[in-house]
Amino acid sequence: MSTAGVQSAIETQRHWSAAAGKVKQQIRRGRRVTLGLGVAGTVLVTAAGQVEGSAGRVLAALATAALASAPIVAGSFASPDHTKTWT
């Protein structure tokens, strides 16, 4: 293989590695956000059970929003298609 061919292979690998690194970061970010939403929703629903009145209803609504959005975030950033792209 010529020097030009080796340089071309190195450059191609460098581009692939950079792209894979970006996808990996997106997957990790999506997983962290999903985890954070799940934890926040759990804490909020627990607090809602302890508080009476409109404050409890507000906490319950926030918990619902956090827990309902977690799968949406997971599907957007950490779906199997993203994992396939990365690997």
CA–CA distances in Å: residue 5 to residues 10, 11, 30: 9, 10, 38
CA–CA distances in Å: residue 33 to residues 9, 41, 44, 80: 36, 12, 16, 17
Model pTM score: 0.73
Q: How many domains does the chain have?
A: 1
Q: pLDDT per residue over 25-81, tens digit each?
A: 888 898 999 999 999 999 999 999 999 999 999 999 999 999 999 999 888 876 667
Q: pLDDT per residue over 2-31, tens digit each?
A: 787 888 888 889 988 888 888 888 888 989
Look up tokens 């975030």; give the residue: 73
User: Domain limits at 49?
Assistant: 3-86
Tell me the C-alpha distance between 87 and 78, whole Å. Answer: 13
